[in-house]
Structure 1
Amino acid sequence: MPSPSSGESGFDKLYQEHHEWLVRWISQRAPSSEHARDLAQDTFLRLLNRPAVPDVLHSPRAWLAKIAGNLAVDQLRRQRLEKNYLELLAALPEAEHPSPEFQLELLQILDQIDRLLDGLRPVEKTAFLMARLDGMAYKAIAAELDVSLSSVEKYIAKAMLCCYNATYGEA
Structure 2
Amino acid sequence: MSSNTSNSLNSLYQAHYEWLVKWIARRTQNWGDAQDLAQDTFVKLLGRPDKTEGIKSTKAWLAKIADNLVIDQARRQILERNYLAMLANMPEAMAPSAEQKWETLELLDQIDKLLNGLKPKEKLAFLMVRLEGLAYKEVAKQLGVSLSSAEKYVAKAMMTCYMNTYGLDE
Match of 1:31 in 2: 29
Match of 2:160 in 1: 158
Uncovered stretches (5+) of structure 2, i.e. residues with no partner: 129-138, 140-151
Deviations 1:67-111 (A, max 9, x none): 000000000111111111100001112233234454344245346
- Aligned pair 1:87/2:85, yes or no? yes
Deviation at 1:42, TM superposition (A): 1.0
Task: Choose 100-109 or 125-134, whichever is displaced more.
Answer: 125-134
Match of residue 65, structure 1, among 48, 63, 66: 63
Query: What is the RMSD computed on CA atoms of the aligned residues?
Result: 3.5
Match of residue 127, structure 1, among 110, 113, 118: 118
Letter of the 1:78 counterpart: R
Deviation at 1:4, TM superposition (A): 3.1
Query: Which has the higher Rg, Structure 1 or Structure 2?
Result: 2
- Is the CA contact (8 Å cut-off) linking 2:24 and 2:38 kept in structure 1? yes
Match of 1:6 in 2: 4
Partner Cα separation in structure 2 for residue 100 and residue 11 of structure 1? 38
Match of 2:74 in 1: 76
Secondary structure of 1:28 counterpart? helix
In 2 relative to 1, CA 62–107 (structure 1 residues): closer, same or farther, beyond 3 Å? same
Task: Choose 36-45 or 101-110, whichever is displaced more.
Answer: 101-110
Partner Cα separation in structure 2 for residue 23 and residue 102 of structure 1? 33
Partner Cα separation in structure 1 for residue 34 and residue 56 of structure 2? 24
- Is the CA contact (8 Å cut-off) linking 1:19 and 1:40 kept in structure 2? yes
- Is the CA contact (8 Å cut-off) linking 1:10 and 1:53 kept in structure 2? no
Partner Cα separation in structure 2 for residue 77 and residue 91 of structure 1? 22
- Is the CA contact (8 Å cut-off) linking 1:39 and 1:72 kept in structure 2? yes
Match of 1:106 in 2: 104
Residue correspondences, number: 142
Secondary structure of 2:116 counterpart? helix
Uncovered stretches (5+) of structure 1, i.e. residues with no partner: 138-149, 166-171
In 2 relative to 1, CA 24–158 (structure 1 residues): closer, same or farther, beyond 3 Å? same
The alignment-based identity, stated in percent, is 41
- Is the CA contact (8 Å cut-off) linking 1:127 and 1:155 kept in structure 2? yes
Q: Which has the higher contact order (CA 8 A, sep 6+)?
A: 1
TM-score scaled by length of structure 1? 0.65
Deviation at 1:38, TM superposition (A): 1.3
